[in-house]
Amino acid sequence: KRRTAAAAPATPGALKDGTAVPLLANLGKSDDAAAARDLGAEGVGLFRTEFLFLNSSEAPTVADQQATYEQLLAGFAGCKVVVRVLDAGADKPLAFLNDDVEENPALGLRGIRVLRAREQILRDQLTALAQADAATAARGEGADLWVMAPMVATVEETEYFTSLARELGIKTPGVMVEVPACALLADRILAVADFASIGTNDLTQYTLAADRLLGSVASLQDPWHPAVLRLVQEVGAAGRAAGKPVGICGEAAADPLLAVVLVGLGATSLSMAPSALADVRASLAEHTLDDARSIAEAALAADGAASARAAAQAAASQTA
């Protein structure tokens, strides 16, 4: 009986000139790790932990969480794994945490704001992560664990999260850039955090003041908008100046041309749904870093999302 040849391992993400751009997976469950690796994920750029807290009237125990995190880290042994602490509220309400009815939940108690109000939940999650990190490392199946907080708006919140995470044994704490205030102060934020990861879904929602769940304003929820790109550029420049990584983990990274623009704006890694990895890898390989920067300049100079995309397409066809 003939055996089908195993798929060749995907090459790591890189631009045409060899500049490495690690291509990572967005995951929502630890048992998705094997499938993501098969699709060429070099690590995990966003592990959403909300599923652990769903369908429950209370937070999971440290031991239960630790088991899940160990499975995740062992599934990506030797790779970078970025875990996001619980992002409850707004589009991800959790019954036991978001008990007050808010008129504008996207602007309310969500992400790091809820965790701060209920600090024991955050402490337990960070403890479970640190213990999973230590346990997998002791078995020789450890990953390079980074942990980030969602919905950070201020330097003070960054200080709060990174110092608590370090105190509880997390070696590499960072923040998600999802709020324009965070992008605009990225230089100060990155003086405190070890890395930033831009969540373009929320960053677009908050930049354009367009609810990501509302179909009637969906046309405004477009990460190609030059206002969003300028904020990404701000964070990219701050990352370069500080020598700190700036990842992208929103849906924008899964658009092959926008991925090139994001790298041109200073993103150092891209994380996406695993099914998008192959097309993004192919697109990056067509352009040098200089190309990516000029394609990004063309998009930035546009007045709106559609014209930014068209300008990037025109610039890309000249450089490819």
Q: Give the footprint of ligand PEP on this chain (CB under 6 A).
A: 46, 48, 87, 178, 199-202, 249-250
Residue 26 vs 136, nearer CB to ligand PEP: 26
Residues 6+ apart with CB under 8 A from 293: 264
Helices 119-138 & 62-75 angle (0-180, nearest 10)? 40
**Contacted entry of ligand PEP, Mg ion, none for residue 200, CB cut-off 5 to 8 Å set by kind:** ligand PEP
32 binds Mg ion, rule: CB under 5 A: no
Q: Nearest distance from residue 148's CB to ligand PEP, in Å?
A: 10
Q: How far apart are CA 151 and CA 175, in angstroms?
A: 8
Q: How far apart are CA 287 and CA 291, in angstroms?
A: 6
> What dihedral do alpha carbons 28, 32, 36, 39 form, nearest 10°?
-130
List residues forming the annotated binding site for Mg(2+).
Answer: 178, 202
Q: Nearest distance from residue 115's CB to ligand PEP, in Å?
A: 15
Residues 6+ apart with CB under 8 A from 81: 43, 44, 47, 72, 73, 143, 144, 145, 146
Q: Nearest distance from residue 26's CB to ligand PEP, in Å?
A: 7
Residue 8 vs 54, nearer CB to ligand PEP: 54
Given the rule CB under 5 A, which of 49-57, 125-133, 202-210, 224-232 is the region that contacts Mg ion? 202-210
Pick the catalytic residue from 249, 258, 259, 265.
249
199 binds Mg ion, rule: CB under 5 A: yes
**Contacted entry of ligand PEP, Mg ion, none for residue 19, CB cut-off 5 to 8 Å set by kind:** none
Q: Which residue spans within the chain are E strands per DSSP?
A: 23-27, 43-48, 80-84, 144-149, 172-177, 196-198, 246-248, 269-272
Residue 153 vs 311, nearer CB to Mg ion: 153
Given the rule CB under 5 A, which of 74-82, 175-183, 203-211, 276-284 is the region that contacts Mg ion? 175-183
Tokens 């790109």 correspond to what residue? 229
Query: What sign does the dihedral 23-279-314-226 (CA atoms) show?
Result: negative
Site string for Mg ion, 125-164 (x = CB under 5 A): ----------------------------------------
Whether 249 is a known active-site residue: answer yes
Query: What sign does the dihedral 268-273-277-280 (CA atoms) show?
Result: negative
Residue 178 vs 291, nearer CB to Mg ion: 178
| Near Mg ion by CB under 5 A: residue from 42, 202, 211, 291 | 202
List residues forming the annotated binding site for phosphoenolpyruvate.
Answer: 48, 84, 201-202, 212
Q: Nearest distance from residue 317's CB to Mg ion, in Å?
A: 32
C-alpha dist (Å) from residue 15 to 83, 185, 246, 266, 292: 26, 29, 17, 13, 9
211 binds Mg ion, rule: CB under 5 A: no
Q: How far apart are CA 54 and CA 26, in angstroms?
A: 18
247 binds Mg ion, rule: CB under 5 A: no
Q: Nearest distance from residue 306's CB to ligand PEP, in Å?
A: 21
Q: Please give the biggest Cα pair distance in the chain.
A: 64
Residue 59 vs 112, nearer CB to Mg ion: 112
Q: Nearest distance from residue 122's CB to Mg ion, in Å?
A: 17
Residues at the contact surface with Mg ion, assessed by CB under 5 A: 178, 199, 202
Residues labelled catalytic = 249
